[in-house]
Amino acid sequence: METLEWTKHSDAMFKSWTDAQTNMWNEWLKAMQGFGTFPSSQVWNTTIGKFPSSQVWDKTIEAGKEKNMGTRTGNAVVEMLKQDHETVKKLFEEFNEAEGKAKAEIAKTVIQELEVHADLEERLIYPAIRDEVDADDMMNEAVEEHHLVHVLIAELKKLKPSDERFDAKFNVLGELVTHHIEEEEGEILPQAEDSKIDWEELTSRVMKRKEQLVAKHTSTSRKRR
């Protein structure tokens, strides 16, 4: 009986600790939203299943509160997109300087970043922009550029990094993505920010979807090991 009671007590303590940690994690995510930024897919991969330290959590909460005073939470979506852009541009540069396994890992990371980014735009962000911005031609062109990105990614997945065509195809992908970024940041996002999009609601949906996507990618990567 004593052993049974101790087991029940231990289970209750563990559940209480887990619930507290989960609430802490959710509050941290809310703070990230208020801060006007999202962690990249790379950061998500290293934090899924973990919790930020109390020091990181406290600093993020405070920074989020200060940043959010007098600002629109809608900027969080735009800043996330721009952050993703900077991440992949840097990775494309690193690819050309890397060799062997490092090069293959960079390519794998870029593909994951682009797939998550494209899903968020196609499923949530672009439809929200279409609803409020009268620019069908501009949005149609962006969607077609996404289509070409998906085609190149599918072809890259069929090749080994050692294939003589891999580097050339990956660099073409980089050129396409760079062009897409320039148009998106120069035309689409400025118009979106000036529109009447419900940024708070969109931010919440994007955060939730991104968490799901990165968790899925992380799980798939682990199964392949």
For residue 66, pLDDT over 90 is answered with: no
Q: Give residue 81's pLDDT band: very low, low, confident or very high (50, 70, 90).
A: very high
Residue at 34 is within a domain: no
Read off the amino acid at residue 34: G
For residue 73, pLDDT over 50 is answered with: no
Residue at 5 is within a domain: no
Write down the pLDDT at residue 149.
98
pLDDT, tens digit (0-9, with 9 covering 90-100), for 27-55: 545 555 544 445 555 544 444 444 444 44
Mean pLDDT (the chain) is 79
For residue 176, pLDDT over 90 is answered with: yes
Global confidence as pTM: 0.69
Residue at 190 is within a domain: yes
For residue 168, pLDDT over 60 is answered with: yes
Residue at 1 is within a domain: no
Residue at 95 is within a domain: yes
Residue at 84 is within a domain: yes
For residue 14, pLDDT over 60 is answered with: no
Average pLDDT over residues 65-78: 57
Write down the pLDDT at residue 184.
97
Q: Give residue 216's pLDDT band: very low, low, confident or very high (50, 70, 90).
A: confident
Write down the pLDDT at residue 89.
97
Average pLDDT over residues 188-201: 96
Q: Give residue 153's pLDDT band: very low, low, confident or very high (50, 70, 90).
A: very high
CB 80 within 8 A of CB 37: yes
Q: How many distinct structural domains can be found in the chain?
A: 1
Contact partners, residue 125, CB within 8 Å, separation at least 6: 77, 81, 202, 206
Of the listed ranges 4-13, 120-129, 190-199, the one predicted with least confidence: 4-13
Mapped onto helix, strand or coil, the DSSP state of residue 194 is coil
Residue at 39 is within a domain: no
* Structural domain span for residue 122: 73-225
Q: Give the angle 58-69-72 at the CA atoms, nearest 5°.
A: 110
Give the whole-angstrom CA distance, residue 179 versus residue 49: 35
Whole-angstrom CA distances from 19 to 8, 14, 15, 23, 59 are 16, 9, 6, 6, 22
Average pLDDT over residues 128-142: 96
Q: Give residue 175's pLDDT band: very low, low, confident or very high (50, 70, 90).
A: very high
Q: Which residue is associated with the tokens 């600093």?
A: 59
